[in-house]
Amino acid sequence: MEFFGQRPWRPGCQTLEPLDAEKERIGLKVLQYKELTTVNHSSLIITSLSNAINQFKKYKCPRMKRYLMVLVAEEYFYSKDYANALTFLDNVLPQYREEGWLPLVQNILNTALQAAYLSADAINFV
């Protein structure tokens, strides 16, 4: 390889156009598969959102903090960590009820119900 970041199937190629279109397509498919199977995107997303929550907590922005907590809960739900998803949703739900955000409350309750069912947590499910 001539430089860092050069694709292994393009040695010595100085142009932007691929030498072999079929080899380029196969190489990109392999890279996409490798990224899907080796990288844990959920943990990266949760870490970034947690840092953002701390930033909004520091500057006293409660609504934005709660919104990000819902996003973290949804990411935990997608990564099948239902207990943490329920924890985050339980922290946010009372404030949304107080402020009268009924569509948000319904959405959060639906996600919490699914998480409680999938985690086999009878107390939270009822």
Residue 125's pLDDT is: 59
* Arithmetic mean of pLDDT, 5-17: 63
Q: For residue 73, is pLDDT > 80?
A: yes
Taking residues 112-124, report their average pLDDT: 82
- Residue 7 confidence (pLDDT) above 70: no
Q: Mean pLDDT for the chain?
A: 86
Class of residue 66 by CB neighbours under 10 A (exposed 0-12, middle 13-18, buried 19+):
buried
DSSP string, the chain: --STT--TT-TT--SSS-S-HHHHHHHHHHHHHHHHHH--HHHHHHHHHHHHHHHHHHTT-HHHHHHHHHHHHHHHHHTT-HHHHHHHHHHHHHHHHHHT-HHHHHHHHHHHHHHHHHTT-HHHH-
20-51 pLDDT, tens digit each: 778 888 888 988 888 888 888 899 999 999 99
Domain extents for the chain? 41-125
